[in-house]
A and B are shown apart, each in its own frame.
Chain A
């Protein structure tokens, strides 16, 4: 079956522009996560959607960052008025919530590499 799909795979844009990054989770996965990874570094949590509950936005670095998840499936991460420090790889992951969901691994997409000129 298909894994987590992210688009675009690469995005180059000018400072000050808005960007939208898309994530299609694995079908049936009700939990969805966004992370940011700077070059060769660890993962920085951004936002987490769990079923129909209000998202956990505690990791969003500024109010320029927002995310939506429509219909409990596809998610879009939006960065407004991009800055050079926003350059990074943005990773999306999903996991199921049935059973003892806390022990379920997260399944990652290949990420969107964002470069701000």
Chain B
């Protein structure tokens, strides 16, 4: 079975400071990992993914994420937060041992960036 956890319901950070949104996962095979962002009254927008290769993945809007196999984590990061980054962030995982193309999503983390 595949699962993903986002331990923080909310993350608060001041504009200009670095931000981290945490994600840990559990799979039986290898993981495909994704980050999505959701703005109010909108669907989820794809930010970045890890499939294989370099552990540091760069995505949209200056976000990046680091895959750590030993810690089974895929934390989302940004060096300098913007107020416009305030949104709901979802981590998702797919286990390569699963025959289907099912993603399991975490419960979401609300990021609040204060000016």
Binding site for B on A (CB under 8 A): 4, 31, 40-43, 45, 48, 50, 56, 91, 93, 95, 97, 100-111, 113
Contact = CB atoms under 8 A, between A and B. Distances in A.
Q: Which of B51, B101, B106 has the most CB of A within 10 A?
A: B101
**Chain A binding surface, main DSSP class:** mixed
Given A50-B100, A50-B101, A107 B46 contact: yes
A94 to B, nearest CB: 11
Interface stretch (B12-20, B68-76, B78-86, B88-96): B88-96
A111 B43 contact: yes
Q: Which of A40, A91, A93, A103 has the most CB of B within 10 A?
A: A103
B108 A102 contact: no
Interface size class of B (residues with CB under 8 A): 20 to 34
A105 B105 contact: no
Contacts of A4: 43
B49 A105 contact: yes
A101 B22 CA distance: 26
Q: Which of A93, A101, A106 has the most CB of B within 10 A?
A: A106
A105 B100 contact: no
A102 B96 contact: yes
Given A42-B108, A43-B105, 5 more contacts: A56-B102, A91-B43, A93-B44, A103-B32, A108-B45
A108 B32 contact: no
